[in-house]
Amino acid sequence: MNKKGGCFSVFLVLILSFSLLLNLMFLSILQSKKATGAPTSLEEEFVGGDFAIKDSKIALIHLRGLISQDEAGTFTQNSVEDIKVQLKAAREDKKVKGIIIAINSPGGEVNASDVIYHEIRLTRNVKPVVIYMESMAASGGYYSAVGGTYLMANDLTITGSIGVIMESFLVKDLMEKVGVKAFVFKSGKMKDLLNPTREMTPEEQAFVQGLIDETYNRFVSIVSKERHIDINKLKNNLADGRIFMGQDALKNGLIDGLGYFEDAFNKCKELSKVQSARLIRYTPPFRISNLFRVFSRGMTPKIELNYPGIRFPLSSGQLYYLYPQAFGLSS
């Protein structure tokens, strides 16, 4: 009798667990259909300023780490979309009078950096956007920053690094030593561009350099337009990949002011024409799908090669607005 009762209890637990799982999946599907990939509303967290003020808010948004559409997001599937979602929420909230974007990034993918620049520029046409550069706002981090209304850095901030980098590898000699041969079948002479098993031809080198130059000219023209710096001055001096500390960045017109975060907050209130404001940041609303994402991440096997002190953010053959020394790599 006890054995039958025990079996029935186990069976009941399994049925209830399965029913709960089905309900969670059903609710997750409903939420994803309603949200269409991004949260329609974001939760707010008080982080500073005047708590009693309800109708005047300053939104704080963080841009950190490698700027890439492959970096996982908190609000959405990737970190670039995260920035877009938060900026959209701040733009459309009439109680948000201004925005502070705190940047701590060495840059990243050229397209991702350009998308964030475009979104910041779009937002500054609606309300003031103060950029506060933390430890680093270099290369693509700086590219994104110039879309703001006012750029502020700390004396010790690393910024600049205006330029483009692409890396590739050559393993031909190694393959010859171990007796491995590669056979490539292609439809055109440029189809296996940057093939690591052979040397590049002069024509291929010129083609790749043309891509670099075109992307570099885009960067320089954006900085020239936004910072009102002569483009020849940039190309002949400031935009050769060098970095600047806060004082030099200010002296060369790359930023508008120096200070700490509280100074950026005060500047944002000034530009927003409010005396007091509640400083808030956005947090993602709870979604059941996030639970499944956490579980799936935990169950996904990973193979990683770790070298002490070195990270490898660059994908071979991809263009970056990146300060590579931030990852222990030399350009």
Among the options 186, 189, 191, 251, which is catalytic?
A: 191
Residue-wise DSSP of 278-329: EEEEEEPPP-HHHHHHHHHHHHS------BTTB---PPTT--EEE-GGGGT-
Active site residue 139: yes
Alpha-helical runs (H) found in the chain: 2-35, 79-92, 110-124, 140-145, 172-178, 202-227, 231-233, 246-251, 261-272, 288-299
- Taking every pair of Cα atoms in the chain, the longest distance, rounded to a whole number of angstroms, is 91
Residue-wise DSSP of 63-98: EES-B-TTSBPSSSSBHHHHHHHHHHHHHH-TTEEE
Angle subtended at Cα 159 by Cα 162 and Cα 310, rounded to the nearest 5 degrees: 90
Active site residue 88: no
Among the options 139, 144, 161, 224, which is catalytic?
A: 139
Catalytically active residues are 139, 191
